[in-house]
A and B are shown apart, each in its own frame.
Chain A
Amino acid sequence: MNSKMSDRRAFLKRSAALAGLAAGAIPFARGKALASVTPGLIIGEGDAKIGISAEEPDMDDLLYGGRSSYEKTIRIHSINSPEGLRTLTPLQDSIGFVTPSPFHFLVQGDKHIPNINPAEHTLIIHGMVDRPTVFTMDDIKRLPSVSEVHWIECTGNSGLMHYRMLLGNKKAGRTDVSVIQGMHGRLSCSEWTGVRLSTLLNLVGVQKGASWVIAEAGDSIHHAKSIPLAKATDDAMLAYGQNGEAIRREQGYPLRLHTPGFQGVCNVKFLRSLKVTDGAYYMQREISAYTNTKPNGMSSWFESQQGPKSLITFPSDAHKVSGAGTYEISGIAWCGRGKIARVEVTVDAGKTWHDARLQQPVFSKAWTRFRTGWNWDGSETTIASRCTNEYGEVQSTWEGLAKLWGDDFTPPISASEMEKWWASAPIAQFLNNPIQLWKVRSNGSVQDALYNKLLPNEYYPI
């Protein structure tokens, strides 16, 4: 202990001496630097340097931690929507079941992200309520809070229409898009902290005959979404915390609606208004988008819950396996209701399946990390995962999904017709949860074996 401490003191002394030499001046005046590192103040150049070289972190980095300069994982831009901002989560590098806030995907309907002063932000609850009320952020933070781990996924995540765009991106020379991030990256999982919406609804008194809540954002397009009152009074939450700190600006700071198990579009950011009504409001984003159009022109709407879904994140098409030997296959599973009960993995193109280990504890409507050992003999094979939730509902193959969705229609649409429709029509394909196949080639490269098969190198604009 003593020797360690003296080592450290010596090191600090040497550091200071070196730093003094390097900068030609006292590199930092502790008191001054600390005093100036207060929120909102910009530190003058050189003021806060504690380092002895460019490799050392400066004071800013230490006060709000950065990561090692060797870590390069980032979100990527998706340019499949002309109107808004989209950044995608780097699932290929995900670890455990929480997405760090800076990796959390972003879908913003326009190109502007508000920067709201929480001291000025208010939430109004009005409509069919006994006591219309304006709440400040201070008001909301006085109410009983909950913290829960839940995923948020964009409704269009994994939809075939993104693959057309992905191919278009590649054709245009983009090299940073992979299938795992480009197709599935509208998906993240965080610990959310906030107040149950039911707590506030109780305070304002929901009137007889009410059935929906229309949530409105304070962003520049005022994103709005109808939420069934049954959901609003169940586990919906007004979240102000994400992963142990305030939610990120682009995630809706200072307050967002969070609807566990419901798709991303329901999680209205920058929440400023909740109107209780007796019916849905048929907002643009529950009509022109986020509805599933079928071959006969009918569209299903107000679908929000994701069926059981899983994805191997390693190895995936962002990786190269470095030769025969032992690896850990790892991935995530999630579902719109209940807990994930089981994840099975195949390493022989579906001939045999075996159970993967599930990271504990398993939370309801949260990512469940699964892991399993894999002894790869170096020959070409296809790997995949499928999950089952606690109610026994199981993730389907692409073909199974086509049958399931076709059978749901009156009169039924054949699976092949459904597949043809998905592949050829300029439609969005929402709430898609097929088994993702990865082909591992003998040279160790990994390729998507799902979308690639459905739309081989096809690209046309939609």
Chain B
Amino acid sequence: MRSTTSCCRMSITRSKFAFLLPVMVLLACGAAMAQSPAYKVGRPPTAEELRTWNNLVGPKGEELPIGSGTAAQGAPIFNAKCAICHGKDGQGGVPTEFGASYPRLVGGVGSLNTPKPVFTPGSRMPYATTLFDYIQRAMPVWPMPRDLTPDNVYALTAFILYKNGIIKETDAMNKNSLVEVQMPNRHGFYPDPPQSEPNDKDGTWLPLWEHGPEWKPTTKPGEKWYGPPVAAPR
């Protein structure tokens, strides 16, 4: 499909280490330089810290908090905290200066392949976790108080999903049910997100530090291109 990305398998490190082989041999000869410096920096996080920091929610929902909420529970919260920008029932249209408007959250399902697509979480997001995650970590925006409880976030997520016709008003969203939600645009993106291939034989990641001056990190043709197509050499 994409001529510029369908190139050979990425093997950045293998090739680099092949290139560095003579250097490594040289380094091995000098006893003082043979060892990697052991930087004794950093400390292990406490269990509490790990819990606190592990807050971004991926598609598997592993990080979802304990809690639950339905669209019915979400409606009053939405009216109190969200409608001021996103409009009644998330319909958008709240104007800002110079004709822009705050993001619309409801509608547009089925509109993406029309000349006037409507972008909302309902029409756009491939996973319901994306919606939950964004509400949890970013909403409401400063300077409004950030006081949503996990139950609130589940309820607001349920409300927006319900208003988009994706779940029923009585469906409770929680750690288990949220990841089961089938979003309409689940297959609306391409290509598959690039998987980085491990660069060592046994499937681990080789350390790329202490490269020495010969190491020149750069993306070359033939390696993976993370961008839109570019014109080939003339």
> Which residue numbers of A lie inside 8 Å of B, CB to CB?
79-83, 109-112, 124, 126-127, 131-136, 139-140, 142-144, 165, 168-169, 172, 196, 198-199, 201-204, 206-212, 214, 216, 220-224, 226, 228-231, 233-235, 261-262, 272-273, 275, 277, 279-284, 287-288, 291-293, 295-308, 336-338, 364-365, 388, 391-396, 400, 404-405, 407-410, 421, 424-427, 430-431, 459-462
Q: Pick the contact of B113 from A207, A230, A280, A297 — CB < 8 Å? A: A297
- B92 shortest CB reach to chain A, Å: 11
User: Given the complex, which residues of B lie within 8 Å of A131, measured CB to CB?
Assistant: 44
Q: Taking the complex as formed, is B33 at the interface, i.e. its CB lies under 8 A from any CB of chain A?
A: no
19 interchain pairs, CB-CB under 8 A: A80-B100, A124-B45, A132-B50, A201-B205, A208-B202, A220-B146, A222-B138, A282-B58, A283-B134, A284-B133, A288-B121, A306-B227, A307-B229, A308-B230, A336-B227, A337-B219, A391-B220, A404-B230, A461-B101
Q: Pick the contact of B226 from A165, A212, A231, A426 — CB < 8 Å? A: A231
Q: Would you give the 0/1 interface string for B110-142, flagging 1 where the beta carbon is closer than 8 Å to chain A?
A: 001111110101001111011001100110011
Stretch with Cβ within 8 A of A (4 or more), from B18-26, B65-73, B150-158, B184-192: B184-192
B115 pairs with A208, CB closer than 8 A: no
Q: Pick the contact of B58 from A112, A210, A211, A277 — CB < 8 Å? A: A277
Q: Pick the contact of A284 from B54, B134, B194, B218 — CB < 8 Å? A: B134
Q: Pick the contact of A287 from B10, B130, B220, B231 — CB < 8 Å? A: B130
Given contacts A134-B42, A222-B55, A308-B231, 20 further A-B contacts (CB under 8 A): A79-B96, A134-B45, A134-B49, A135-B41, A139-B42, A199-B210, A202-B208, A208-B203, A212-B196, A216-B55, A233-B205, A275-B54, A281-B58, A287-B125, A293-B119, A299-B190, A300-B190, A307-B231, A391-B221, A459-B99
- A185 shortest CB reach to chain B, Å: 17
Interface size class of B (residues with CB under 8 A): 35 or more
Q: A132-B44, A198-B207, A302-B194 are in contact. Are A172 and B56 (CB under 8 A)?
A: no
A338 pairs with B100, CB closer than 8 A: no
> Which of the listed residues B53, B98, B203, B208 has the most CB atoms from chain A within 10 Å of its own CB?
B98
> Which residue numbers of B lie inside 8 Å of A, CB to CB?
1-4, 10, 12-13, 39, 41-45, 49-50, 53-60, 96-103, 112-117, 119, 121, 124-127, 129-130, 133-134, 137-138, 141-143, 146, 188-191, 193-199, 202-205, 207-210, 216-221, 224-234
A79 pairs with B124, CB closer than 8 A: no
B209 pairs with A172, CB closer than 8 A: no
> Which of the listed residues B44, B50, B189 has the most CB atoms from chain A within 10 Å of its own CB?
B189
User: Given the complex, which residues of A lie within 8 Å of B130, measured CB to CB?
Assistant: 282-284, 287-288
User: Given the complex, which residues of A lie within 8 Å of B188, measured CB to CB?
Assistant: 297-299
Q: Pick the contact of A364 from B49, B133, B141, B218 — CB < 8 Å? A: B218
User: Given the complex, which residues of B lie within 8 Å of A165, measured CB to CB?
Assistant: 98, 100
Contact residues of A: prevailing secondary structure? loop
A408 pairs with B229, CB closer than 8 A: yes
A393 pairs with B39, CB closer than 8 A: no
Q: A144-B209, A234-B12, A307-B227 are in contact. Are A424 and B113 (CB under 8 A)?
A: no
User: Given the complex, which residues of A lie within 8 Å of B54, measured CB to CB?
Assistant: 126-127, 275
